Structure 1
Protein backbone atom coordinates (compact mmCIF):
# COMPACT_ATOMS: atom_id res chain seq x y z
CA UNK A 1 0.00 0.00 0.00
CA UNK A 2 1.38 3.39 -0.96
CA UNK A 3 2.02 5.89 1.85
CA UNK A 4 -0.62 8.56 2.41
CA UNK A 5 1.22 11.80 1.60
CA UNK A 6 -1.75 13.86 2.78
CA UNK A 7 -0.97 12.70 6.33
CA UNK A 8 2.39 14.50 6.23
CA UNK A 9 2.60 18.06 7.55
CA UNK A 10 4.86 18.92 4.62
CA UNK A 11 2.10 17.89 2.20
CA UNK A 12 -0.86 19.49 3.98
CA UNK A 13 -2.55 22.67 2.76
CA UNK A 14 -1.94 26.03 4.40
CA UNK A 15 -5.20 27.76 5.27
CA UNK A 16 -3.49 31.16 5.24
CA UNK A 17 -2.47 30.90 1.58
CA UNK A 18 -5.58 29.32 0.03
CA UNK A 19 -6.28 32.44 -2.07
CA UNK A 20 -2.68 33.20 -2.99
CA UNK A 21 -3.33 32.58 -6.67
CA UNK A 22 -5.53 35.69 -6.79
CA UNK A 23 -3.32 37.86 -4.55
CA UNK A 24 -1.38 40.94 -5.60
CA UNK A 25 2.45 40.82 -5.43
CA UNK A 26 2.71 42.61 -2.07
CA UNK A 27 0.05 40.36 -0.57
CA UNK A 28 1.94 37.27 -1.75
CA UNK A 29 5.10 38.64 -0.18
CA UNK A 30 3.36 39.40 3.11
CA UNK A 31 1.94 35.88 3.30
CA UNK A 32 5.36 34.36 2.66
CA UNK A 33 7.07 36.68 5.12
CA UNK A 34 4.53 35.92 7.85
CA UNK A 35 5.00 32.20 7.31
CA UNK A 36 8.78 32.55 7.36
CA UNK A 37 8.58 34.21 10.76
CA UNK A 38 7.29 30.93 12.18
CA UNK A 39 10.46 29.07 11.20
CA UNK A 40 12.83 30.33 13.90
CA UNK A 41 10.31 29.41 16.61
CA UNK A 42 10.04 25.92 15.19
CA UNK A 43 13.83 25.58 15.22
CA UNK A 44 13.94 26.81 18.82
CA UNK A 45 11.79 23.86 19.89
CA UNK A 46 14.30 21.31 18.60
CA UNK A 47 17.49 22.91 19.94
CA UNK A 48 18.16 20.01 22.38
CA UNK A 49 18.17 17.61 19.41
CA UNK A 50 20.42 19.94 17.44
CA UNK A 51 22.77 20.02 20.43
CA UNK A 52 23.05 16.23 20.27
CA UNK A 53 24.02 16.48 16.59
CA UNK A 54 26.66 19.11 17.40
CA UNK A 55 28.11 16.81 20.06
CA UNK A 56 28.31 13.92 17.59
CA UNK A 57 30.07 16.08 15.00
CA UNK A 58 32.51 17.55 17.53
CA UNK A 59 33.42 14.10 18.86
CA UNK A 60 33.89 12.82 15.30
CA UNK A 61 36.26 15.68 14.49
CA UNK A 62 38.29 15.07 17.66
CA UNK A 63 38.71 11.42 16.61
CA UNK A 64 39.79 12.34 13.09
CA UNK A 65 36.36 11.53 11.69
CA UNK A 66 34.08 13.42 9.36
CA UNK A 67 30.66 15.07 9.24
CA UNK A 68 28.73 13.80 6.22
CA UNK A 69 25.41 15.20 5.00
CA UNK A 70 23.20 12.93 2.87
CA UNK A 71 20.10 14.02 0.96
CA UNK A 72 18.26 14.17 -2.33
CA UNK A 73 17.09 17.21 -4.29
CA UNK A 74 16.86 20.39 -2.22
CA UNK A 75 17.85 18.52 0.95
CA UNK A 76 21.01 17.23 -0.73
CA UNK A 77 21.86 20.67 -2.09
CA UNK A 78 21.57 22.21 1.37
CA UNK A 79 24.07 19.69 2.70
CA UNK A 80 26.49 20.40 -0.13
CA UNK A 81 26.07 24.15 0.37
CA UNK A 82 26.92 23.96 4.05
CA UNK A 83 29.85 21.60 3.49
CA UNK A 84 31.58 23.62 0.77
CA UNK A 85 31.56 26.76 2.93
CA UNK A 86 33.59 25.13 5.71
CA UNK A 87 37.05 25.21 4.04
CA UNK A 88 37.03 28.97 3.28
CA UNK A 89 35.42 29.87 6.60
CA UNK A 90 37.35 27.58 8.90
CA UNK A 91 40.38 26.42 6.86
CA UNK A 92 39.20 22.80 7.14
CA UNK A 93 40.23 19.99 4.85
CA UNK A 94 37.50 19.54 2.18
CA UNK A 95 37.03 15.96 3.38
CA UNK A 96 36.22 17.00 6.95
CA UNK A 97 32.65 18.12 6.16
CA UNK A 98 31.09 16.59 3.06
CA UNK A 99 27.74 16.93 1.36
CA UNK A 100 26.53 13.96 -0.71
CA UNK A 101 23.54 14.36 -3.02
CA UNK A 102 21.58 11.53 -4.60
CA UNK A 103 22.52 11.25 -8.25
CA UNK A 104 26.02 12.65 -7.80
CA UNK A 105 27.50 16.12 -8.21
CA UNK A 106 25.61 16.80 -11.44
CA UNK A 107 22.35 16.55 -9.48
CA UNK A 108 23.26 19.78 -7.70
CA UNK A 109 22.48 21.84 -10.80
CA UNK A 110 20.13 19.51 -12.66
CA UNK A 111 17.61 17.12 -11.12
CA UNK A 112 18.39 13.43 -11.57
CA UNK A 113 14.99 11.76 -11.75
CA UNK A 114 14.51 8.71 -9.56
CA UNK A 115 17.87 9.01 -7.78
CA UNK A 116 16.20 9.43 -4.40
CA UNK A 117 14.14 6.23 -4.75
CA UNK A 118 17.05 3.83 -4.29
CA UNK A 119 18.08 3.03 -0.71
CA UNK A 120 21.00 0.98 -2.00
CA UNK A 121 22.38 4.12 -3.65
CA UNK A 122 22.69 5.83 -0.27
CA UNK A 123 24.57 2.83 1.07
CA UNK A 124 26.88 2.68 -1.96
CA UNK A 125 27.73 6.38 -1.72
CA UNK A 126 28.83 5.94 1.89
CA UNK A 127 30.82 2.83 1.07
CA UNK A 128 32.73 4.83 -1.55
CA UNK A 129 33.72 7.26 1.21
CA UNK A 130 35.05 4.46 3.40
CA UNK A 131 32.67 5.32 6.23
CA UNK A 132 33.89 4.39 9.73
CA UNK A 133 32.60 4.47 13.28
CA UNK A 134 34.45 7.76 13.79
CA UNK A 135 32.17 9.57 11.34
CA UNK A 136 28.81 11.29 11.83
CA UNK A 137 26.15 11.01 9.14
CA UNK A 138 23.22 13.42 8.96
CA UNK A 139 20.39 12.27 6.71
CA UNK A 140 18.27 15.17 5.45
CA UNK A 141 14.74 14.74 4.08
CA UNK A 142 11.94 17.25 4.57
CA UNK A 143 9.33 14.51 4.11
CA UNK A 144 11.28 12.17 6.36
CA UNK A 145 10.73 9.22 4.03
CA UNK A 146 13.32 9.45 1.22
CA UNK A 147 14.62 5.92 0.43
CA UNK A 148 18.10 7.19 -0.48
CA UNK A 149 18.46 8.71 2.98
CA UNK A 150 16.97 5.67 4.71
CA UNK A 151 19.53 3.42 3.02
CA UNK A 152 22.36 5.74 3.96
CA UNK A 153 21.35 5.89 7.63
CA UNK A 154 20.86 2.14 7.86
CA UNK A 155 24.33 1.50 6.48
CA UNK A 156 25.86 4.18 8.72
CA UNK A 157 24.41 2.51 11.80
CA UNK A 158 25.68 -0.87 10.64
CA UNK A 159 29.27 0.43 10.80
CA UNK A 160 28.54 2.15 14.14
CA UNK A 161 28.87 5.71 12.81
CA UNK A 162 26.80 8.30 14.68
CA UNK A 163 23.56 9.10 12.86
CA UNK A 164 21.15 12.03 12.81
CA UNK A 165 17.84 12.26 10.93
CA UNK A 166 16.71 15.77 9.95
CA UNK A 167 13.12 16.11 8.75
CA UNK A 168 10.03 18.31 8.97
CA UNK A 169 7.44 15.70 9.98
CA UNK A 170 6.62 14.07 13.30
CA UNK A 171 7.39 10.35 13.60
CA UNK A 172 9.32 10.53 10.33
CA UNK A 173 10.44 7.27 8.76
CA UNK A 174 14.09 8.33 8.80
CA UNK A 175 13.88 9.12 12.52
CA UNK A 176 13.65 5.39 13.19
CA UNK A 177 17.02 4.86 11.53
CA UNK A 178 19.05 7.38 13.54
CA UNK A 179 20.61 7.82 16.97
CA UNK A 180 19.07 11.29 17.16
CA UNK A 181 16.08 12.68 15.28
CA UNK A 182 15.56 16.38 14.59
CA UNK A 183 11.94 16.85 13.52
CA UNK A 184 11.45 20.58 12.98
CA UNK A 185 7.75 21.20 12.38
CA UNK A 186 7.39 24.41 10.39
CA UNK A 187 3.81 23.73 9.30
CA UNK A 188 2.26 23.60 5.83
CA UNK A 189 4.08 25.36 3.01
CA UNK A 190 2.72 28.47 1.29
CA UNK A 191 2.67 26.37 -1.88
CA UNK A 192 1.49 22.93 -0.84
CA UNK A 193 4.36 20.44 -0.78
CA UNK A 194 7.01 22.93 -1.95
CA UNK A 195 9.54 22.10 0.76
CA UNK A 196 12.21 24.28 -0.82
CA UNK A 197 10.44 27.07 1.09
CA UNK A 198 9.90 26.86 4.88
CA UNK A 199 11.25 23.35 5.34
CA UNK A 200 14.44 24.13 3.44
CA UNK A 201 14.93 27.39 5.34
CA UNK A 202 14.61 25.56 8.66
CA UNK A 203 17.04 22.89 7.56
CA UNK A 204 19.59 25.44 6.36
CA UNK A 205 19.40 27.19 9.73
CA UNK A 206 20.00 23.90 11.54
CA UNK A 207 22.89 22.80 9.30
CA UNK A 208 24.50 26.22 9.81
CA UNK A 209 24.13 25.72 13.57
CA UNK A 210 25.67 22.24 13.52
CA UNK A 211 28.73 23.09 11.44
CA UNK A 212 29.38 26.49 13.01
CA UNK A 213 28.93 25.31 16.61
CA UNK A 214 31.19 22.31 16.15
CA UNK A 215 33.87 24.50 14.56
CA UNK A 216 33.69 26.99 17.42
CA UNK A 217 34.12 24.11 19.86
CA UNK A 218 37.23 23.09 17.91
CA UNK A 219 38.76 26.50 18.59
CA UNK A 220 38.15 28.10 15.22
CA UNK A 221 36.80 31.30 16.78
CA UNK A 222 38.17 33.83 19.23
CA UNK A 223 35.39 35.85 20.85
CA UNK A 224 33.10 36.07 17.78
CA UNK A 225 35.87 36.41 15.20
CA UNK A 226 36.72 33.89 12.44
CA UNK A 227 40.35 33.37 13.36
CA UNK A 228 40.79 30.36 11.08
CA UNK A 229 39.53 32.02 7.91
CA UNK A 230 41.30 30.75 4.78
CA UNK A 231 42.99 33.75 3.13
CA UNK A 232 42.39 32.95 -0.55
CA UNK A 233 41.54 36.36 -2.03
CA UNK A 234 41.90 40.10 -1.37
CA UNK A 235 38.57 40.41 0.44
CA UNK A 236 39.50 37.61 2.85
CA UNK A 237 42.97 39.06 3.30
CA UNK A 238 41.47 42.38 4.38
CA UNK A 239 39.14 40.54 6.74
CA UNK A 240 42.09 38.64 8.19
CA UNK A 241 44.05 41.84 8.79
CA UNK A 242 41.07 43.45 10.51
CA UNK A 243 40.60 40.38 12.72
CA UNK A 244 44.24 40.55 13.80
CA UNK A 245 43.90 44.29 14.53
CA UNK A 246 40.79 43.75 16.65
CA UNK A 247 42.36 41.00 18.75
CA UNK A 248 45.79 42.55 19.21
CA UNK A 249 45.16 46.34 19.01
CA UNK A 250 48.04 46.83 16.57
CA UNK A 251 48.09 49.07 13.50
CA UNK A 252 47.01 48.00 10.03
CA UNK A 253 50.64 47.85 8.94
CA UNK A 254 51.70 45.69 11.89
CA UNK A 255 48.77 43.32 11.37
CA UNK A 256 49.53 43.04 7.67
CA UNK A 257 53.20 42.30 8.34
CA UNK A 258 52.34 39.65 10.91
CA UNK A 259 49.88 38.01 8.53
CA UNK A 260 52.54 37.80 5.82
CA UNK A 261 55.12 36.51 8.30
CA UNK A 262 52.70 33.80 9.42
CA UNK A 263 52.11 32.60 5.83
CA UNK A 264 48.58 33.99 5.96
CA UNK A 265 47.60 32.03 9.09
CA UNK A 266 45.50 34.33 11.25
CA UNK A 267 45.80 32.21 14.40
CA UNK A 268 49.56 32.14 14.13
CA UNK A 269 49.78 35.89 13.47
CA UNK A 270 47.69 36.65 16.57
CA UNK A 271 49.85 34.48 18.82
CA UNK A 272 53.02 35.96 17.31
CA UNK A 273 51.90 39.46 18.23
CA UNK A 274 50.29 38.72 21.60
CA UNK A 275 53.15 36.56 22.88
CA UNK A 276 55.97 38.33 21.00
CA UNK A 277 57.06 35.11 19.30
CA UNK A 278 58.31 34.20 15.86
CA UNK A 279 56.31 31.99 13.52
CA UNK A 280 57.84 28.68 14.58
CA UNK A 281 57.40 29.46 18.28
CA UNK A 282 53.79 30.57 17.76
CA UNK A 283 52.96 27.38 15.85
CA UNK A 284 54.55 25.27 18.63
CA UNK A 285 52.53 27.09 21.30
CA UNK A 286 49.33 26.62 19.32
CA UNK A 287 50.05 22.91 18.96
CA UNK A 288 50.59 22.65 22.71
CA UNK A 289 47.27 24.48 23.18
CA UNK A 290 45.50 22.08 20.78
CA UNK A 291 44.78 24.93 18.39
CA UNK A 292 42.91 27.13 20.88
CA UNK A 293 44.12 30.72 20.56
CA UNK A 294 42.66 31.84 23.89
CA UNK A 295 44.49 29.04 25.70
CA UNK A 296 47.72 29.90 23.84
CA UNK A 297 47.74 33.61 24.61
CA UNK A 298 46.67 33.11 28.23
CA UNK A 299 49.29 30.42 28.88
Structure 2
Protein backbone atom coordinates (compact mmCIF):
# COMPACT_ATOMS: atom_id res chain seq x y z
CA UNK A 1 0.00 0.00 0.00
CA UNK A 2 1.44 3.37 -0.95
CA UNK A 3 1.42 6.13 1.62
CA UNK A 4 1.90 9.81 1.02
CA UNK A 5 4.73 11.46 2.89
CA UNK A 6 4.18 14.93 4.29
CA UNK A 7 6.46 17.45 5.86
CA UNK A 8 4.51 20.08 7.73
CA UNK A 9 5.92 23.39 8.82
CA UNK A 10 4.02 25.21 11.53
CA UNK A 11 4.18 28.93 12.11
CA UNK A 12 1.75 30.39 14.61
CA UNK A 13 1.28 33.90 15.65
CA UNK A 14 -1.41 35.38 17.81
CA UNK A 15 -3.30 38.50 16.95
CA UNK A 16 -5.80 40.22 19.14
CA UNK A 17 -7.79 43.40 19.63
CA UNK A 18 -7.98 44.97 23.05
CA UNK A 19 -10.45 47.68 23.93
CA UNK A 20 -10.59 49.07 27.45
CA UNK A 21 -13.35 51.61 28.13
CA UNK A 22 -13.74 53.31 31.47
CA UNK A 23 -16.68 55.70 31.63
CA UNK A 24 -16.92 58.86 33.66
CA UNK A 25 -18.34 58.12 37.09
CA UNK A 26 -19.65 60.89 39.33
CA UNK A 27 -20.01 60.52 43.07
CA UNK A 28 -23.55 61.15 44.27
CA UNK A 29 -22.69 61.70 47.92
CA UNK A 30 -19.74 62.15 50.30
CA UNK A 31 -16.26 63.44 49.54
CA UNK A 32 -15.54 60.76 46.92
CA UNK A 33 -13.77 62.33 43.98
CA UNK A 34 -14.89 62.04 40.41
CA UNK A 35 -13.24 59.08 38.65
CA UNK A 36 -12.49 59.75 35.03
CA UNK A 37 -10.51 57.66 32.57
CA UNK A 38 -10.25 57.79 28.79
CA UNK A 39 -11.08 54.94 26.48
CA UNK A 40 -8.05 53.49 24.75
CA UNK A 41 -7.71 51.12 21.82
CA UNK A 42 -4.88 48.64 21.39
CA UNK A 43 -4.78 46.72 18.14
CA UNK A 44 -2.38 44.01 17.09
CA UNK A 45 -2.52 41.50 14.29
CA UNK A 46 -0.63 38.36 13.38
CA UNK A 47 -1.63 35.05 11.88
CA UNK A 48 -1.13 31.31 12.07
CA UNK A 49 -0.01 29.43 9.00
CA UNK A 50 0.52 25.78 8.21
CA UNK A 51 2.39 25.00 5.02
CA UNK A 52 2.49 21.52 3.58
CA UNK A 53 5.31 20.41 1.30
CA UNK A 54 5.67 17.34 -0.92
CA UNK A 55 1.91 17.10 -1.26
CA UNK A 56 1.21 14.20 -3.61
CA UNK A 57 -2.50 13.58 -3.68
CA UNK A 58 -5.47 15.41 -2.18
CA UNK A 59 -8.02 12.69 -2.92
CA UNK A 60 -9.89 11.35 0.07
CA UNK A 61 -8.59 7.85 0.65
CA UNK A 62 -10.47 7.19 3.89
CA UNK A 63 -14.08 7.24 5.06
CA UNK A 64 -14.77 8.23 8.65
CA UNK A 65 -16.72 5.56 10.54
CA UNK A 66 -19.08 5.74 13.49
CA UNK A 67 -17.13 3.75 16.06
CA UNK A 68 -20.22 3.28 18.24
CA UNK A 69 -21.67 0.99 15.57
CA UNK A 70 -18.51 -1.09 15.12
CA UNK A 71 -18.17 -4.49 16.77
CA UNK A 72 -14.74 -4.36 18.36
CA UNK A 73 -13.14 -7.41 19.93
CA UNK A 74 -10.58 -7.59 22.69
CA UNK A 75 -10.37 -3.86 23.41
CA UNK A 76 -7.73 -3.58 26.18
CA UNK A 77 -8.93 -2.37 29.57
CA UNK A 78 -8.56 1.36 30.06
CA UNK A 79 -8.85 2.19 26.35
CA UNK A 80 -11.78 3.49 24.34
CA UNK A 81 -12.31 4.03 20.60
CA UNK A 82 -11.26 7.51 19.51
CA UNK A 83 -12.11 7.26 15.82
CA UNK A 84 -12.26 4.76 12.98
CA UNK A 85 -11.63 5.05 9.25
CA UNK A 86 -12.01 2.69 6.32
CA UNK A 87 -9.54 2.70 3.43
CA UNK A 88 -10.41 2.31 -0.24
CA UNK A 89 -9.17 -1.27 -0.03
CA UNK A 90 -11.71 -2.04 2.71
CA UNK A 91 -9.27 -2.19 5.62
CA UNK A 92 -10.56 -0.64 8.85
CA UNK A 93 -8.34 1.25 11.29
CA UNK A 94 -9.63 2.08 14.78
CA UNK A 95 -7.53 4.30 17.02
CA UNK A 96 -7.93 3.64 20.75
CA UNK A 97 -6.90 6.00 23.53
CA UNK A 98 -6.74 6.13 27.30
CA UNK A 99 -8.68 8.76 29.23
CA UNK A 100 -5.79 11.25 29.17
CA UNK A 101 -5.01 10.88 25.44
CA UNK A 102 -1.43 10.00 26.38
CA UNK A 103 -1.43 6.33 25.31
CA UNK A 104 -2.79 5.00 22.03
CA UNK A 105 -3.35 1.72 20.25
CA UNK A 106 -4.44 1.06 16.67
CA UNK A 107 -6.69 -1.84 15.78
CA UNK A 108 -6.53 -3.10 12.19
CA UNK A 109 -9.57 -5.04 11.01
CA UNK A 110 -9.34 -7.01 7.76
CA UNK A 111 -11.16 -10.18 6.66
CA UNK A 112 -12.64 -10.59 10.16
CA UNK A 113 -9.14 -10.54 11.67
CA UNK A 114 -8.46 -8.10 14.52
CA UNK A 115 -4.86 -7.09 15.12
CA UNK A 116 -3.90 -4.51 17.76
CA UNK A 117 -0.63 -2.56 17.54
CA UNK A 118 0.98 0.03 19.78
CA UNK A 119 0.58 3.53 18.40
CA UNK A 120 3.09 6.16 19.41
CA UNK A 121 3.42 9.76 18.31
CA UNK A 122 6.73 11.53 17.80
CA UNK A 123 7.06 15.25 18.15
CA UNK A 124 7.73 17.09 14.90
CA UNK A 125 7.66 20.62 16.28
CA UNK A 126 6.89 22.42 19.52
CA UNK A 127 6.58 26.18 19.33
CA UNK A 128 5.37 28.91 21.64
CA UNK A 129 4.68 32.15 19.84
CA UNK A 130 4.26 35.31 21.85
CA UNK A 131 1.87 37.99 20.72
CA UNK A 132 3.04 41.57 20.95
CA UNK A 133 2.94 43.01 24.45
CA UNK A 134 0.54 45.92 24.81
CA UNK A 135 0.93 48.57 27.48
CA UNK A 136 -1.41 51.39 28.40
CA UNK A 137 -1.28 53.89 31.21
CA UNK A 138 -4.23 54.85 33.40
CA UNK A 139 -4.55 57.21 36.33
CA UNK A 140 -5.61 55.80 39.67
CA UNK A 141 -6.01 58.42 42.42
CA UNK A 142 -3.79 60.73 40.44
CA UNK A 143 -1.05 58.15 40.11
CA UNK A 144 -0.15 56.67 36.71
CA UNK A 145 -0.42 52.87 36.57
CA UNK A 146 0.35 50.51 33.70
CA UNK A 147 -1.87 47.75 32.35
CA UNK A 148 0.00 45.17 30.29
CA UNK A 149 -1.66 42.58 28.10
CA UNK A 150 -0.20 39.81 25.97
CA UNK A 151 -1.22 36.52 24.42
CA UNK A 152 0.57 33.36 23.40
CA UNK A 153 -0.13 30.10 21.63
CA UNK A 154 1.68 26.81 22.04
CA UNK A 155 1.33 24.40 19.13
CA UNK A 156 2.80 20.89 19.20
CA UNK A 157 2.80 18.92 15.95
CA UNK A 158 3.13 15.13 16.22
CA UNK A 159 3.05 12.35 13.68
CA UNK A 160 2.26 8.67 14.16
CA UNK A 161 5.26 6.36 14.37
CA UNK A 162 3.34 3.28 13.28
CA UNK A 163 3.37 3.46 9.48
CA UNK A 164 0.23 1.52 8.60
CA UNK A 165 -1.82 4.72 8.87
CA UNK A 166 -0.36 8.13 8.06
CA UNK A 167 -1.87 10.46 10.64
CA UNK A 168 -0.93 13.52 12.67
CA UNK A 169 -1.96 15.07 15.95
CA UNK A 170 -1.98 18.77 16.76
CA UNK A 171 -1.99 20.00 20.36
CA UNK A 172 -2.92 23.64 20.88
CA UNK A 173 -3.04 25.86 23.95
CA UNK A 174 -3.78 29.57 23.57
CA UNK A 175 -4.02 32.00 26.46
CA UNK A 176 -4.23 35.69 27.27
CA UNK A 177 -2.61 37.38 30.26
CA UNK A 178 -3.29 40.75 31.86
CA UNK A 179 -0.88 42.30 34.37
CA UNK A 180 -1.84 45.24 36.56
CA UNK A 181 -0.36 46.56 39.82
CA UNK A 182 1.24 43.26 40.75
CA UNK A 183 -1.64 41.06 39.63
CA UNK A 184 -1.07 38.51 36.87
CA UNK A 185 -4.44 37.33 35.62
CA UNK A 186 -4.43 34.40 33.19
CA UNK A 187 -7.38 32.83 31.41
CA UNK A 188 -6.78 29.90 29.06
CA UNK A 189 -9.46 29.80 26.40
CA UNK A 190 -8.51 27.22 23.80
CA UNK A 191 -6.75 23.93 24.50
CA UNK A 192 -7.06 20.45 23.06
CA UNK A 193 -6.09 17.96 20.36
CA UNK A 194 -6.93 17.68 16.68
CA UNK A 195 -6.32 14.27 15.07
CA UNK A 196 -6.25 14.27 11.30
CA UNK A 197 -5.03 12.44 8.22
CA UNK A 198 -2.86 14.88 6.22
CA UNK A 199 -4.42 15.85 2.93
CA UNK A 200 -7.56 13.85 3.69
CA UNK A 201 -9.74 14.70 6.66
CA UNK A 202 -9.96 15.71 10.29
CA UNK A 203 -10.93 12.64 12.29
CA UNK A 204 -11.35 13.88 15.86
CA UNK A 205 -11.34 17.10 17.84
CA UNK A 206 -10.77 16.76 21.57
CA UNK A 207 -11.71 20.01 23.30
CA UNK A 208 -9.96 20.42 26.66
CA UNK A 209 -10.57 24.15 27.09
CA UNK A 210 -10.70 25.42 30.63
CA UNK A 211 -10.49 28.56 32.78
CA UNK A 212 -7.58 29.40 35.03
CA UNK A 213 -8.70 31.96 37.58
CA UNK A 214 -5.68 33.17 39.53
CA UNK A 215 -7.07 36.03 41.55
CA UNK A 216 -9.99 36.63 43.86
CA UNK A 217 -10.74 39.92 42.10
CA UNK A 218 -11.80 38.11 38.93
CA UNK A 219 -15.54 37.76 38.45
CA UNK A 220 -16.61 35.10 35.99
CA UNK A 221 -19.51 36.04 33.75
CA UNK A 222 -19.77 33.22 31.24
CA UNK A 223 -17.64 30.72 29.38
CA UNK A 224 -18.37 28.41 26.49
CA UNK A 225 -16.43 26.55 23.84
CA UNK A 226 -17.34 24.57 20.76
CA UNK A 227 -15.57 22.23 18.40
CA UNK A 228 -16.65 21.02 14.97
CA UNK A 229 -15.41 19.78 11.64
CA UNK A 230 -14.70 16.07 12.11
CA UNK A 231 -15.10 13.94 9.03
CA UNK A 232 -14.50 16.90 6.74
CA UNK A 233 -11.37 18.43 5.19
CA UNK A 234 -11.49 21.26 7.75
CA UNK A 235 -11.67 21.80 11.49
CA UNK A 236 -12.76 24.67 13.67
CA UNK A 237 -12.09 25.07 17.36
CA UNK A 238 -13.56 28.11 19.08
CA UNK A 239 -13.51 29.04 22.73
CA UNK A 240 -15.11 32.16 24.18
CA UNK A 241 -15.00 33.79 27.56
CA UNK A 242 -16.41 37.05 28.82
CA UNK A 243 -14.68 39.18 31.39
CA UNK A 244 -14.34 42.91 32.05
CA UNK A 245 -11.43 44.97 33.35
CA UNK A 246 -13.09 47.67 35.42
CA UNK A 247 -12.19 50.12 38.14
CA UNK A 248 -14.66 49.85 41.01
CA UNK A 249 -14.92 53.33 42.50
CA UNK A 250 -16.59 52.08 45.68
CA UNK A 251 -13.82 49.66 46.57
CA UNK A 252 -10.99 51.37 44.63
CA UNK A 253 -10.04 47.99 43.11
CA UNK A 254 -9.55 46.74 39.61
CA UNK A 255 -11.46 43.65 38.54
CA UNK A 256 -10.94 41.68 35.33
CA UNK A 257 -13.75 40.29 33.22
CA UNK A 258 -12.22 40.46 29.74
CA UNK A 259 -14.02 39.12 26.71
CA UNK A 260 -12.26 37.36 23.89
CA UNK A 261 -12.34 34.54 21.38
CA UNK A 262 -9.74 32.13 20.04
CA UNK A 263 -10.24 30.37 16.73
CA UNK A 264 -8.13 27.63 15.20
CA UNK A 265 -9.38 26.41 11.87
CA UNK A 266 -8.24 24.93 8.60
CA UNK A 267 -6.10 21.77 8.47
CA UNK A 268 -6.69 20.84 4.86
CA UNK A 269 -4.72 22.40 2.04
CA UNK A 270 -2.44 24.38 4.31
CA UNK A 271 -2.82 27.39 2.08
CA UNK A 272 -2.23 30.02 4.72
CA UNK A 273 -5.84 30.24 5.90
CA UNK A 274 -5.06 28.66 9.25
CA UNK A 275 -5.20 31.15 12.06
CA UNK A 276 -5.60 31.70 15.77
CA UNK A 277 -6.95 35.06 16.81
CA UNK A 278 -8.58 36.75 19.74
CA UNK A 279 -10.78 39.80 20.16
CA UNK A 280 -11.06 41.45 23.53
CA UNK A 281 -13.60 44.05 24.54
CA UNK A 282 -14.17 45.67 27.90
CA UNK A 283 -16.62 48.24 29.16
CA UNK A 284 -17.81 49.63 32.48
Write 1 or 2 for the structure with the bigger share of helix: 1
TM-score, normalized by length of structure 2?
0.24
Higher fraction of strand:
2
Q: Which has the larger radius of gyration?
A: 2
